[in-house]
Chains A and B, each alone.
Chain A
Amino acid sequence: MKRAWIGILLILALVATISCVGGCGKPAADSGTQEEVGKIVIGETEPLTGPIAVYGVPECNATKLAVDEINAAGGLEVNGKKYKIELVQLDDQLNPTLAFQNVKKLVEVHGAQFLIGFTNAAMIMPAMSYIQQKKIPVVVGGAPDEIITATPNPYVFRMRPPTAYTALATGKFIYNEFGVRTMAVIGTVSEQALFKDIAEGTMKGFEAMGGKVTSVQDFKSSQQDMSAQITAALATQPDAIYALAPIESQAFVYKQLRELGYKGKIFGFSGGNVKQFTKICTVDQLEGIFDLIPAEINPTDTSINGPGADAFVENYRKAFGEDPPPVAGYTYDAMKTLAAAIQAAGTLDPDAVVRELENLAVPEGLVLQWVPVEGKLFDSSHQAYIPNAAFVFQGGKKVVYKLMDSPIAEYSKKLAEARASNK
């Protein structure tokens, strides 16, 4: 009979693997109010449960805040008529199938005319042809994968600069700014495309300067003990460690690096704030670690953010009782940008709104410091840009260290070429 249990164990392993992507769906409450005058339905799908909810929840919060502000100010005036925005937010649990179902549900059940959100490429790519077929203008918020804007879809725009844009600057910055000559890389580099992209780009930039990558250590985001990988990386005696993973996994890397006695330089790519990291590691373990990312919203020092940053931080705190995490700025600005385009178009016709988005200057009052390309918010590939920046954890705060290179023209050209080759 004991042999039978071995067979049953194999069945259980299969069941456990299939059920890994667990969690429960949770449609968000509508934030808008129904007005007699007119209603614009905007849909958003984000991971509100599961390991990436740490990104999805603040992204949804920020969109809701933007919608509440627009509605409180009387709504959008489109060709002389007032419209209130009805926001419908759904949970995709970081499941591509569910994300696609959400898109269809938002459009076909809730009547969404526009879409916001998507936390990474896997959530939007399956819906690309549907979006084009249904002519639904989409402004993607925090998804960092290059493929989104490298895929020529006339209805899709994206706020967050792709990882490859940041990677172009990161390797050179580590080499030049800190005199690092050897570096070990630890991250979820085989599991997640965006971290693979940023790792490859950073290593390429670092090695182009003459630096040497001594070790590349990989782990899965479900893993919590990376001490074997860290030991292997430290055995190569690098000048610095470059770590890249989702926030919760990244926190374990930082914690275990310190627990293995490492006192050298640590650079990361995560976009997490102190509160998110200190769920796992201590303030002492975070001290002196650099985060090399786009210049996202940073409540403790908004000097590198846009003109609306301070008000956003204050309003977010009032509404949700905590500081806005770095990713929150993208969806807030995505919502405000979409609203500006609809107003400027003077119609809800999707093609007219797309034309406005293509020609839109940077709207006033956004929370991030958008750098226009030829006077427009989006380049020819429908991609927007903010500067790259280095942040450092100091005394329990994440402070701005300095801006890094922001190779917008160089990257925009490469992206346009990639987009053209995908036609």
Chain B
Amino acid sequence: MLLQQLLNGLVLSGLYLLLSLGLALIFGVLEIPHFAFGAVAVTGGYVGYVLVNLLGLPVWAGIALAVVISAAIGVLLDLLPYRDVNKLPPLNAFIVALGLMTFLNNTLQLLFGPDQVQIKLHGEQLVYLGQLVLTELRVALLLVAIVIMVVTWLILRRTKIGIAVRAVAANREAAALMGIDIRRISAFVFAYTSAIGAVVGIIYGGLYSLIPTRGDNLIFFGFAAIVLAGMGNLMGTIVASVILGVFQAFMIGYVSSAFSTVAVFGLIILLLILKPMGLFGKEVRR
């Protein structure tokens, strides 16, 4: 049971990782608490649902097109609701994010109704690893999470735009003085993270199901991971996501399923008491 629970936990970790990666990028670079990210992910999922289930596109084509559409939605978010929001007091960004979340939830409800939908990704075949078992779709989720993590790392470390993103994250004013186009970087970050969101939404909609307000649940664990890691710390986010997913699965398996969520957040509170800036956050002395 131990290894199977570890695998179950890693699948959850994969989801948390993709969610928290998007959130951490936006917060780390733009200092915007993108609480609507869950709703953006679910919107991407619904785009995938339209393309795959309703229009009958092959799964790979549906996912690819949904990712492109979501990236475009990301650029729109940067241009419209979030434009220059990080120059304003933090509460403004919070209100914008909350409003955007409500707007997306209600728009999806208007378009698709309250009933749940499942995206037909056809990954039900079982993959056995000795005594352990996973479906193809769960294996795909793990692989996609790893691939996106590596690609993100490569973009940030090996590309011009990635270096510019890191420069903005490190010192926005200095980056601007060095000639980096902050608006372009902001649009790129929103496009890239919204594309990741679409992948999360589609896989979630295939593995489980989508309803318009599903993003509210998703964002909860995504933020939990980045708070645990230390807000905006990308590598810490990976570790925190794995801790959250595996700890949750082990709590259910070995202690009690009734208190697993309570235990997860109890753990986070405990760790934050011991390390107030998160596991990998930098200490700030005033």
Residues of A within 8 A of B (CB): 1-6, 8-9, 12-13, 15-16, 19-20, 22-24, 49-51, 53-54, 190, 217-220, 222, 224-225, 227-229, 231-232, 235, 248, 252, 259-261, 279-280, 282, 285
**Which A residues are in CB contact (< 8 Å) with B90?**
1, 4-5, 8
**Which A residues are in CB contact (< 8 Å) with B11?**
225, 227
B216–A279 touching, CB < 8 Å: no
B114–A49 touching, CB < 8 Å: yes
Interchain nearest-CB distance for B153 vs A (Å): 22
B contact residues, range:
35 or more
- Which of A1, A4, A12, A15 has the largest number of chain B CB atoms within 10 A? A12
**Which A residues are in CB contact (< 8 Å) with B176?**
none
In the complex, whether B223 has a CB less than 8 A from a CB of chain A is: yes
In the complex, whether B116 has a CB less than 8 A from a CB of chain A is: yes
> Complex: how many Å from CA A235 to CA B253?
9
In the complex, whether B208 has a CB less than 8 A from a CB of chain A is: yes
> Complex: how many Å from CA A24 to CA B102?
13
Interchain nearest-CB distance for A73 vs B (Å): 33
**Which A residues are in CB contact (< 8 Å) with B281?**
2
> Complex: how many Å from CA A225 to CA B5?
12
In the complex, whether B152 has a CB less than 8 A from a CB of chain A is: no
Q: Which chain B residue lies CB-closest to A217?
A: B257
A231–B4 touching, CB < 8 Å: yes
Partner of A2, one of B134, B231, B256: B231
> Complex: how many Å from CA A289 to CA B33?
46
Given contacts A49-B114, A235-B1, A248-B116, whether A229 and B126 have CB atoms under 8 Å apart is: no
Given contacts A1-B31, A4-B90, A259-B135, whether A228 and B231 have CB atoms under 8 Å apart is: no
B9–A228 touching, CB < 8 Å: yes
Interchain nearest-CB distance for B156 vs A (Å): 20
Partner of B109, one of A13, A24, A228, A261: A24
* Residues B97-149 near A (CB distance < 8 A): 98, 105, 109, 114-118, 124, 126, 128, 133-135, 138
Partner of A12, one of B35, B128, B208: B35
Given contacts A2-B281, A222-B217, A228-B5, whether A9 and B252 have CB atoms under 8 Å apart is: no
A228–B253 touching, CB < 8 Å: yes
Given contacts A12-B35, A259-B124, A279-B209, whether A229 and B257 have CB atoms under 8 Å apart is: yes
**Which A residues are in CB contact (< 8 Å) with B1?**
231-232, 235
B27–A5 touching, CB < 8 Å: yes
Partner of B33, one of A5, A190, A232, A285: A5
> Complex: how many Å from CA A6 to CA B207?
30
**Which A residues are in CB contact (< 8 Å) with B35?**
12
> Complex: how many Å from CA A164 to CA B138?
38
Q: Which chain B residue lies CB-closest to A16?
A: B216
**Which B residues are in CB contact (< 8 Å) with A228?**
5, 8-9, 248-249, 252-253, 257, 260
**Which B residues are in CB contact (< 8 Å) with A24?**
109
**Which A residues are in CB contact (< 8 Å) with B20?**
none
> Complex: how many Å from CA A51 to CA B212?
12
In the complex, whether B232 has a CB less than 8 A from a CB of chain A is: yes
A280–B8 touching, CB < 8 Å: no
19 contacts between A and B (CB under 8 A): A1-B90, A6-B227, A6-B272, A9-B223, A12-B98, A54-B115, A222-B217, A225-B208, A228-B248, A228-B249, A229-B252, A231-B5, A231-B253, A232-B252, A232-B257, A235-B253, A261-B128, A280-B116, A282-B124
Q: Which chain B residue lies CB-closest to A53?
A: B114
Interchain nearest-CB distance for A200 vs B (Å): 15
> Complex: how many Å from CA A3 to CA B1?
39
B135–A16 touching, CB < 8 Å: no
Q: Which chain A residue lies CB-closest to B265?
A: A13
**Which B residues are in CB contact (< 8 Å) with A6?**
227, 231, 272
> Complex: how many Å from CA A172 to CA B33?
55
In the complex, whether B277 has a CB less than 8 A from a CB of chain A is: yes
In the complex, whether B12 has a CB less than 8 A from a CB of chain A is: yes
Partner of B126, one of A9, A12, A259, A280: A259
> Complex: how many Å from CA A50 to CA B113?
10
Given contacts A190-B258, A232-B257, whether A225 and B12 have CB atoms under 8 Å apart is: yes
**Which B residues are in CB contact (< 8 Å) with A22?**
105, 213
Contact flags B191-226 to A (C-beta < 8 A → 1, else 0): 000000000000000011101010011011001000
Q: Which chain A residue lies CB-closest to B3?
A: A231
**Which A residues are in CB contact (< 8 Å) with B261?**
220
Contact flags B1-28 to A (C-beta < 8 A → 1, else 0): 1001100110110000000000000010
Interchain nearest-CB distance for A255 vs B (Å): 8
> Complex: how many Å from CA A16 to CA B214?
11
Interchain nearest-CB distance for A183 vs B (Å): 17
Given contacts A8-B33, A219-B257, A279-B209, whether A13 and B220 have CB atoms under 8 Å apart is: yes
**Which A residues are in CB contact (< 8 Å) with B284?**
2
Given contacts A9-B33, A279-B116, A282-B124, whether A19 and B216 have CB atoms under 8 Å apart is: yes
**Which A residues are in CB contact (< 8 Å) with B231?**
2, 5-6
Instruction: Identify 11 new A-B residue pairs, CB closer than 8 A, beyond the known A53-B115, A261-B126.
Output: A1-B31, A4-B90, A12-B94, A227-B11, A228-B5, A228-B9, A232-B253, A259-B134, A260-B133, A279-B115, A279-B117
Contact flags B262-286 to A (C-beta < 8 A → 1, else 0): 0000000000100011000100100
